[in-house]
Amino acid sequence: MSALNNPVIAVIVSVIIAVSYFTLVDHFLMDMQGLDYWYL
Amino acid sequence: MGSLTRKKTLAVMALSAMIGLLLLPIVVSVPALASGGGAPAGGPPPDVVKKEGGEGDKDKKVEKARDVYYKTEGIVSGLPAPKTGDNAKDYPRYNFESRVLLWFANQQHLYYGSFVLAVPIFCMVIEFMGVMTKDKAMAKKYDQLAYDFIKISLTAYSLTAILGGILIFTFLTLYPAFFGYLSSIFRPVMHIYALMFVAESGTLYIYYYGWDKMKEGFLKWIHLSMSVILNVIGTVLMFLANSWIGFMMSPAGVDEQGRFLGNIWHVIHTALWNPLNVHRILGNMAFGGGVVAAYAAYRFLSSKTDEERAHYDWMGYIAMSLGVAFLIPLPFAGYWLMREVYAYRQQMGITLMGGLLAWLFIIQATMIGILFLSTNYYLWQALGRMRGAERFQRWIKYFVFLLVCGFLVFITPHTMVMTPAELKAMGGQQHPVLGNYGVMSAKNGGINVIITTTVLTFIWYQRGNRVPSVSWSKFGNIFMGVFFFFAYVNIIWLAIYGYFIPANVRVGLSVPQVATTLSCLFFMTALNLSMLKGAKQIGPIEWGKISVRSQYALIMLATAFTWMMGLMGYIRSSVRLFWHVNEIMRDNSPWAYTHTVGFAANMISFNVLFFWISIMFVFWLGTLAAKKAPVEAKAPVPGQAPQPAVGH
């Protein structure tokens, strides 16, 4: 946990989690409606 | 000891009586349901009986017809919808527009009805919080607050019943043909509505008058159970009333002539019934919270002592928090309702959002923006009652920027109201500049930015006088900041992305946008609360030490909500255009046209003004009772003048 309190590591880990989470949310919630999120 | 046993016995008997009353309508309905789906009470209409009798029992002929919505076949067991004419028989009238009189009676009944349905739900929640709280002083405070709430709603309950009576007389006097038809269709459940009303009244009075007798231990749990039963009855009442308007907008269970086909469940469970139920429950709660918060603000402003100010500041905060908790999911329920309207009849959706009534939605967007701006403003002002919250002041201007940007995008119209000459000069409805804005994709982005910022403000408020002391607080803070940043990026990206993809894909983008906002609401609030466990307190919350402006924000919140409720009720009702019951029973009165936006807005304002003047009278009655209590008691009532709380 002490490594996570290092601001640089904390930012990198947070960005990876947040970007992955929102990308998955966008993809799967469109997929559930039978729509293609990556259409464009 | 004997006295306590007697009390317990009486309490259990009262609870059993309420449960009995609740089950009575179901028991009464069993024979009707057992005989094949509840034929209307009183049997088939006389002409059908005569026809059957004439043909003898051997070749008994029953007429079947197809359900307009469910497309199933059913036995015709009702008369067709009456074909009305513009005459004194179908539409008796005074020298005044009947529709406006009915509009007024209906709206006032609805305002009071939603208030008295919402307040007992608050009471249940607050009383439960009081029972569960280990801190005795706080438990007493919660109990006193719940009692204050129900006291306000009791007078309003009588007014609701009076307004309900006025509404029925208005229907019978001015629209007898329509009311006769609607009550014949809903005949199998009309008595259930009446019985539910009796059960609601009985339960409410026992709940209120039994409060002091059932203060401790087992009796308190019985009392709390009563509030659950009271709310179940209230909710069933509302669902039944919603089935009438659902039937008028999206009829089912009848054939194309409007003849009842014997299945009352189809009549109740129309295409729009459930979306209306969810939307109205949330709306009632937000409205009830707003009205109680306005009451607390009124009492705060007229308080003479610091103790009173502290109590009403706390009451206003709790009511506002409960109201806003239901206001946040409300736009999503409204969006679901609109989607169901489009699914039921695309033309109805277009009339609402892109045609005759579209500009009313611009007014609605403005009101929603005002609601969220007022909420944020109140929370920023409320930071003033905490020592140590000064460190958040410098961030407020950035929040204002985000809110204003979201608000401006949200209220931008897509089309202009134009004269035929202007339309011709422009070469169509689409404005060359404005036509690019005000589309759903952008508006969804706008409102989600506003709601996410409100969540962020609330997290700021929770942090007000506390500093997290968990070992991972540095990571927690960075993670929260990054999560919110990417939530904004995702919402805005999806709003822009919608401009580059076809409409059938674009409509789906609203779901991930909403999920992003809700992720912030649930995950970040939970993360914040876990970070604040055992947090270092900079100073106590000083209840009552808040600017007067904050109380005006609460009154603004309540008034804006009342106005918006009137507006949305008008939109929902007028989308039927010249139909009493959509595509089944035509409105042939002289008032079947749609009013201008200006007239409708004035009428809504009049309704709001009348409601607030009348509820001020109810508030005033509440203050009379409060002034009287100490004179009778001669001794301080426990919990009457609470100490400022340290938690919230």
A-B CB pairs within 8 A amount to: 72
Between vectors from CA B549 to CA B548 and to CA B554, what angle results, nearest 5°?
Answer: 100
pLDDT value at residue A11: 93
| Residue B328 lies in domain | 24-78+99-340+621-648
Task: Check whether B630 has a pLDDT greater than 50.
Answer: no
pLDDT of residue B278: 94
In a domain, B407, yes or no: no
CA trace torsion B272, B278, B284, B286 (10° rounding): -130
Number of continuous H segments (helices) and E segments (strands) in chain B:
22, 6
Look at B217 and B632; give whichever has higher pLDDT: B217
pLDDT by residue (tens digit) across B213-235? 787 788 888 888 889 989 999 99
Do B128 and B101 meet the contact criterion of CB atoms below 8 Å apart?
Answer: no
B595: left (phi over 0), alpha (psi -120 to 50) or beta: beta
Cβ contact B378:B556 at 8 Å: no
Model confidence band, residue B180 (pLDDT cutoffs 50, 70, 90): very high
Asked if the model's pLDDT at residue B446 lies above 90, the reply is: yes
Chain A stretch 1-40, residues whose beta carbon is closer than 8 A to a beta carbon of chain B? 1, 4-5, 7, 10-11, 13-15, 17-19, 21-22, 25-26, 29-30, 32-33, 35-37, 39-40
| Tens-place pLDDT, residues B386-405 | 868 877 877 788 999 999 99
Tens-digit pLDDT profile for residues B560-595 = 989 989 998 999 899 988 899 999 998 999 989 988
**Whose structure tokens read 């914040």?**
B528
Q: pLDDT tens digit string along B285-338? A: 899 999 999 989 988 998 888 888 898 998 899 898 889 888 888 887 997 998
pLDDT single digits (tens) A1-40: 578 778 999 999 999 999 999 999 999 899 988 988 888 8
Among B471, B486, B517, most A C-beta atoms within 10 A, so best to mutate, is: B486
Report the share of chain B in percent with pLDDT over 70: 88
3-state secondary structure B191-236: HHHHHHHHHHHHHHHHHHHCCCCCCCHHHHHHHHHHHHHHHHHHHH
Of the ranges B482-486, B561-565, B619-623, B625-629, the best mean pLDDT one: B482-486
- pLDDT value for B32: 56
Cα separation, B645 vs B648, in Å, equals 7
Q: How far is A16 from chain B (nearest CA, A)?
A: 10
Residue partners of B574: CB distance under 8 A and separation at least 6: B357, B594, B595, B600
pLDDT of residue B4: 60
Choose the closest CB to B501 out of A11, A15, A39.
A39
Tell me which of B278 and B63 has the higher pLDDT: B278
pLDDT category of residue B641 using cuts at 50, 70 and 90: very low
**Separation between Cα atoms, residue B323 and residue B290, nearest integer Å:** 6
The pLDDT value given to residue B195: 85
For residue B25, name the pLDDT band (cuts at 50, 70, 90): low
Instruction: Judge whether B111 and B567 are in contact, CB under 8 Å.
Output: no
Q: Inspect the interface and report whether the beta carbons of B478 and A22 lie closer than 8 Å.
A: no
| B213 vs B641: which has the higher pLDDT | B213
Neighbours of B593 (CB within 10 A): 12
Task: Kindly state whether residue B332 falls inside one of the protein's structural domains.
Answer: yes
φ, ψ for residue B174, nearest 5 deg: -105, -25
Number of domains forming the structure of chain B = 1
Phi/psi zone of residue B37: left (φ > 0), alpha (ψ -120 to 50 degrees), beta? left
**B13: pLDDT confidence band, cut at 50, 70 and 90?**
confident
pLDDT at B632: 36
pLDDT category, B51, cuts 50, 70, 90?
Answer: very low
Confidence of residue B60 (pLDDT cuts 50, 70, 90): low
Whether B58 is covered by a domain: the verdict is yes
pLDDT exceeds cutoff 70 at B370:
yes
For residues B162-191, give the mean pLDDT. Answer: 92
Q: B554: which 2 tokens? A: 């609460």
**Rounded mean pLDDT of B53-67?**
65
Residues with Cβ within 8 Å of B514's Cβ and at least 6 positions away in sequence, in order, are: B332, B335, B444, B448
